[in-house]
Amino acid sequence: MSTITTIFSDVGGVILTNGWDRNARRTGAETFGLDWEEFQDRHDLAGQEFEIGTITLDSYLARTIFYRHRDFTPDQFKEFIFAQSQPFPETLAIMGRLARSGRYLMSTLNNEELELNNYRIERFELRKYFTMFLSSCFLHMRKPDEVIYRTALAIVQRHPEECLFIDDRRLNVEAASSLGIRTILHESPEQLLNDLAAQGIELAA
């Protein structure tokens, strides 16, 4: 088994809550009195572009919510979106131990919208854990498409077998695995620690 030199980690559902997923959107619809079906239909048509960074948050909100008069402002809605992001301290602590070991190139490999991604990096000081941010909004491609994993490998110039990818979605993990990248399906901090040990990964104290 070759030595792991690189760790790619998902963000939403692993170290932070999801940024703007279906549950958050549903809460948003309830909080702001939006028609759920209508909002969903519009989200379905704009969400993918939003995630790969080809439309801005303002355009997304204009297309999905502010196409007609509302009794609230885009800034109020943005504030709500940002407030949905919360940390998972136990998994963040594990990432901190991996980073402090100094043994691994630490990168995210995450699907996220541009403004939200930047907010989360800043708010939760993710630069303390990662030196690279391979995010869908920067790369204009997203998981589980094979091209994003190939691009990640090309950017870091590592062989797949020396890379470990951590994600909470089985489909994303399967896509990485099919390219020969080693993987951990994240379920809990305890299981993550066990799986890291099983992969021979060393953590700082």
Q: Which residues bind Mg ion (CB under 5 A)?
A: 10, 12-13, 168
CB of 33 to Mg ion, least distance (A): 29
Q: ∠ CA 199-179-19 to the nearest 5 degrees?
A: 75
Axis-axis angle for helices 22-32, 74-83 (nearest 10): 140
CB of 12 to Mg ion, least distance (A): 4
CA angle 65, 67, 73 (to 5 degrees): 55
Please, which residue, 13 or 160, has the CB nearer to Mg ion? 13
Nearer to Mg ion, 10 or 162 (CB): 10
User: What's the min distance (Å) between Cβ of 111 and Mg ion?
Assistant: 7
N-to-C CA span, the chain:
24
Q: Which is nearer to Mg ion, 11 or 29 (CB)?
A: 11
Nearest of 142, 156, 145, 88 to residue 114 by alpha carbon: 142
What minimum distance in Å lies between the beta carbon of 205 and Mg ion?
A: 28
CA distance readout (Å), 3 to 50, 75, 158, 161, 202: 37, 47, 11, 8, 11
Q: Considering beta carbons, is residue 171 or 205 the nearer one to Mg ion?
A: 171
The residue with its CB nearest to Mg ion is 13
Of 6 and 136, the one with the shorter C-beta distance to Mg ion is 136
- The strand pair at 132-135 and 105-110 is best described as parallel
Shortest distance (Å) from residue 157 CB to Mg ion: 25
